[in-house]
Amino acid sequence: MGFMARLQNVHLQSTALGVGCVLVAGFDDSRVKEALKLPTDLEPTALLCIGQRRDA
């Protein structure tokens, strides 16, 4: 299964569970690597933010 298909499956499952999920693709790679203490050989490509929904 491809990377984007996996992201879509997580998004669909979170929606089915009533949990909010949003994909963030525009971010500062170096800041994410530092914050998550990622090894130098890993590159963040997307962030999935998952949490309680706050309906407007």
Give 21's pLDDT tier (boundaries 50, 70, 90).
Answer: very high
Give 25's pLDDT tier (boundaries 50, 70, 90).
Answer: confident
Give 55's pLDDT tier (boundaries 50, 70, 90).
Answer: confident
Task: Using the predicted structure, report yes or no on whether residue 50 has a pLDDT greater than 90.
Answer: yes
As a whole number of angstroms, the distance between CA 4 and CA 28 comes to 20
Task: Using the predicted structure, report yes or no on whether residue 56 has a pLDDT greater than 70.
Answer: no
pLDDT for the residue numbered 39 = 95
Distances in whole angstroms, Cα of residue 5 to Cα of each of 9, 11, 24, 51, 56? 6, 10, 15, 20, 29
